[in-house]
Amino acid sequence: MKSYNYHILMQHLLPVLIQNTFKDRKEICSIIKSICTFSKALCSRVIDVEMLMTLEKGNANTLCGLEKICPPSVFVAMMHLPIQLAYEARLCGPIFYRWMNPYEW
């Protein structure tokens, strides 16, 4: 699969799968849904700066909640990358125009 397909899976299909899989674990479900929502807002063609700032602040809490649930071996330096990506999106505009996705097709 190409990277665009992974983004579609992450933004649209993963929340539905998680909602049906973890019905009894609301904490895990809410954390993964917030990560998917953040990814969807970050990858949109039009960026709402206020919403992105709100999601960026909530993303730090989401990562802390994820650190409570997952073992330490899951976390590498790349797990904290979304915080920098939101800052970059606020400075440079939509991320879609800087990605390699159009060239992969």
Contacts of 56 (CB under 8 A, 6+ apart): 38, 83, 86, 87
For residue 75, what pLDDT is reported?
A: 74
Confidence grade of residue 3 (pLDDT, cut at 50, 70, 90): low
Q: Is the predicted pLDDT of residue 1 greater than 60, yes or no? A: no
Radius of gyration of the chain (CA): 14
DSSP annotation string for 29-72 = HHHHHHHHHHHHHHTSSS--HHHHHHHHHHHHHHHHHHHHHS-G
**Are the beta carbons of 95 and 82 closer than 8 angstroms?**
no
The structural domains of the chain, with segments of one domain joined by +, span 3-104
Q: Is the predicted pLDDT of residue 10 greater than 70, yes or no? A: yes
| Mean of all residue pLDDT scores within the chain | 77
- Give dist(CA 105, CA 103) in Å, integer: 6
